Amino acid sequence: AGAGAGGQSGELSTEGAAAGRRVYIDDRVMGQTPAAFTVPCGAHKVQVGSAGQPQTVVVPCGGRVVVSR
């Protein structure tokens, strides 16, 4: 059983964002663009790049959200 079993997660993708920028999810560095992250479904604070504006994104269970800035 891997992450996402039972439909309790969704995907947050940074496709379309400038390459090589840090991705912060809930104030933690999760990786660099471009990338896709599996996260628990629900609201998350997302920031692309250290100078980017934090935003709240709601990730649906079994769904996908794209954040590009």
C-alpha 52/C-alpha 42 separation (Å) is: 21
The pLDDT value given to residue 2: 46
User: pTM, whole model, 2 decimals?
Assistant: 0.86
Nearest to 8 by CA among 59, 61, 57: 61
The pLDDT value given to residue 47: 97
The pLDDT value given to residue 42: 97
pLDDT < 50 positions in the chain = 1-5
